[in-house]
Amino acid sequence: MSDSLNLLAALARANFTGKAWQGAALAGAIRGVSASEASRRPAKGRRNIHEIVLHAAYWKYAVRRRLNPSDDAPFRGSPSNWPAAPTSPEERDWKRTVRLLKEEHQRLMRAIEGLDGASLDQVPPGGRAWTRAQLIMGIASHDAYHTGQVQLLKKLILARSK
């Protein structure tokens, strides 16, 4: 892999599983969260952790498909951008969602690592004016953004349970 591709892959990896410079990475932020905690809303009509994790999994899928349009594996959630989370907090459903997020991240990383570094400045076929490099930076930033949301929701949940 080229130096640029190595750097982008490291950024995507760090903001999900690694030691991100800003603190927790997404996988670390959801570690230890129960189904009950993941389903709690900060206020009526607001997103919960379970929904945010499903959303993050979907966008890993969407970016992977944009990087590699020949990969036709479907996403296991509906509707797409904000898949519906189960209405009752079942531990098995939450674990399934966490597993989906991790699987989509692994698929995304394989797609990134399979790229040719020379293609980073190209817009993939069917793309929306975003180069491959921008897509990878975007998905890494997306993980960092939603990590912050998860961390804030966890603090709200803990404060309310005291």
Whether the pLDDT of residue 40 is over 70: the answer is yes
Whether the pLDDT of residue 154 is over 90: the answer is yes
Residue-level pLDDT at 1:
65
**Max CA-CA distance within the chain?**
54
Whether the pLDDT of residue 50 is over 70: the answer is yes
Quickly state the pLDDT bin for 72 (edges 50, 70, 90): confident
- List, for residues 109-125, the tens digit of each pLDDT value: 999 999 999 999 999 98
Give SS3 for 131.
coil
- Alpha carbon distance 114, 5 (integer Å): 10
Quickly state the pLDDT bin for 92 (edges 50, 70, 90): very high
Q: How many CB atoms lie within 10 A of CB 131?
A: 15
Alpha helices in the chain (DSSP H): 3-14, 26-30, 35-39, 49-67, 91-113, 132-161
Whether the pLDDT of residue 143 is over 70: the answer is yes
Q: Is the dihedral of CA 83, 22, 35, 160 positive or negative?
A: negative
Domain total in the chain: 1
CATH number of the domain enclosing 133: 1.20.120.450
Whether the pLDDT of residue 23 is over 90: the answer is no
pTM: 0.93
Give SS3 for 94.
helix
Quickly state the pLDDT bin for 162 (edges 50, 70, 90): low
Which domain, by its residues, includes 150?
Answer: 3-161
Query: For the chain, what is the mean pLDDT?
Result: 91
Of the candidates 44, 38, 42, 30, the residue with the CA atom closest to the CA atom of residue 143: 30
Q: Would you say how long the chain is, in residues?
A: 162
Residue-level pLDDT at 128:
79
- Alpha carbon distance 41, 26 (integer Å): 19
